[in-house]
């Protein structure tokens, strides 16, 4: 049986200040945009991290980050109509200078995509 997967590894720069929200349930959510640069130019991707183990003060606009997660499309009501947003739902985030954390993140990604 073929394994299906939705695995994203993203390295880029935080192009917005991280915003932290605490839901009534007590769950923390951190949102930001990560900008990557390729030969085709720059791309900005919204990232949401649910239940982060780190706090918003650990990250700031301009920081380089490595994100492990999955792509998701979220639908919601806005202004009386249905809107959609495609984003990366992060499961792990580290700064490239945190060699051990990045190694663990990449090992998890490899494990997720091995068939």
CATH number at residue 34: 2.40.50.140
Q: Does residue 2 lie within any of the structural domains?
A: no
CA–chain centroid gap for 87, Å, is 8
Query: How sure is the predictor about 114, in pLDDT bands with cuts at 50, 70 and 90?
Result: confident
Query: How sure is the predictor about 3, in pLDDT bands with cuts at 50, 70 and 90?
Result: low
The whole-angstrom separation of Cα 98 and Cα 80 is: 44
DSSP-based three-state secondary structure for 65: strand
State the total domains in the chain.
1
Q: Does residue 3 lie within any of the structural domains?
A: no
Tokens 């640069």 label which residue?
37
User: What is the overall mean pLDDT for the chain?
Assistant: 89
Tens digits of residue pLDDT in 42-61: 999 999 999 877 676 789 99
Whole-number pLDDT of residue 76: 85
Tokens 């992060």 label which residue?
90
The whole-angstrom separation of Cα 111 and Cα 115 is: 9
Residue 2 pLDDT > 80, yes or no? no
Domain limits at 82? 8-113
């Amino acid at each position: 049986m073929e394994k299906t997967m939705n695995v994203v590894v993203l390295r880029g720069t935080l192009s917005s200040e991280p915003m932290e929200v605490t839901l009534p349930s007590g769950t923390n959510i951190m949102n930001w945009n990560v900008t990557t640069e390729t030969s085709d130019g720059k791309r900005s991707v919204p990232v949401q991290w649910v239940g982060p183990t780190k706090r918003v003060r650990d990250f700031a606009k301009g920081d380089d980050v490595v994100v492990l997660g999955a792509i998701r499309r979220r639908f919601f009501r806005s202004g009386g109509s249905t809107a959609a947003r495609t984003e990366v739902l992060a499961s792990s985030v580290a700064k490239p200078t945190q060699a051990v954390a990045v190694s663990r993140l990449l090992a998890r990604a490899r494990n997720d995509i091995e068939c």
